Amino acid sequence: MDAKALALAGLGTTGTIGGGAYWYASNSNKQSHLISDLLKKEKTRFALRKNSGSSFDSKWKAAWARYRKAHEVSTGKYQDRDTWGIPNWNEKEGQEEVFNEFKDMCESKYQLSIESPDDVEYRNVRKWCTASRTIKELIEGEKQRSILPETGEDAGWNTAWNSYKEHHKEANRNTYKSTNEWGITGWNANSLGNDATTDFKSKCKEKYSTDIDFEKELSDPLINQVVNWCTKPIKP
């Protein structure tokens, strides 16, 4: 069987995202694939590139921090030899700012061929050379639901707002909780109305623009909150 993508279970009527976070290859008839090609199939992460602009500096810094952390034996002390044999490791291990030798190593790893994402080389690249996609990018990539626009779509927004309100109903189902998950302003008064508030719409934009939690990936609870409260189904 040819290697293929293991698709997410989808964003169906339950308003959830499930399934595998990344590309999966069958064990039979294995084929070789470039790591760079497999990373393009990732649902929650993307490959950092050396020539990316300064807006990616913080993401590179976080990737380098994960690499250093993986080689830390005690606070501020690191293994004498690192996994990838980065040039001048002993001189660089303590610095927080990422440097070109590390970026060069990531670029070289992208060009390696492997048979499966279970390969240790792929797992390491995935940990140390990638950054999280935004929640919006994940949802748009699935092509089953769309983010509600900032203006218009009043009916869709009101449906989303009522889903948000429903989530905050008290056990007796007749009243709403005094506090709300996203801290919507004027909650106690606005929860009595059926029209989505401006602050609720702004909160949606803030949340769907957030990066997916790097460790939790598809288990990040914010993903399903955004799906349930800030999206609408895409009609066939």
Q: Please, where are the H alpha helices in the chain?
A: 35-39, 57-70, 89-92, 100-110, 120-128, 135-142, 154-167, 187-190, 198-208, 221-230
Mean pLDDT of all residues in the chain? 88
66 falls within a domain: yes
The per-residue pLDDT for range 80-122, each reduced to its tens digit, is 999 999 998 999 999 999 999 999 999 999 999 999 899 999 9
191 falls within a domain: yes
Domain boundary among 107, 132, 157: 132
Residues above pLDDT 70, as percent of the chain: 87
Contact, 176 vs 169, CB < 8 A?
Answer: yes
User: Which span out of 8-17, 22-31, 220-229 was modeled with the highest average pLDDT?
Assistant: 220-229
Residues above pLDDT 90, as percent of the chain: 80
Which two structure tokens, joined as six digits, stand for 222?
């914010």
Whether the model clears a pTM of 0.75, i.e. scores above it, the answer is yes
Per-residue pLDDT at 4 exceeds 50: no
10 falls within a domain: no
The per-residue pLDDT for range 34-92, each reduced to its tens digit, is 999 999 999 999 999 999 888 999 999 999 999 999 999 999 899 999 999 999 899 99
The per-residue pLDDT for range 141-167, each reduced to its tens digit, is 999 999 999 999 999 999 999 999 999
| Domain co-membership, 187 together with 210 | yes
184 falls within a domain: yes
Per-residue pLDDT at 15 exceeds 90: no
Report the alpha-carbon distance of residue 160 to residue 229 in Å, rounded. Answer: 5
Domain boundary among 105, 132, 159: 132
| Domain co-membership, 112 together with 168 | no
CA neighbor of 103 nearest in space, from 70, 135, 151, 64:
64
19 falls within a domain: no
Domain of residue 106 covers 33-132
Higher pLDDT, 235 or 8: 235
Q: How would you class 60 by CB atoms within 10 Å of its CB: exposed for 0-12, middle for 13-18, buried for 19 or more? A: buried
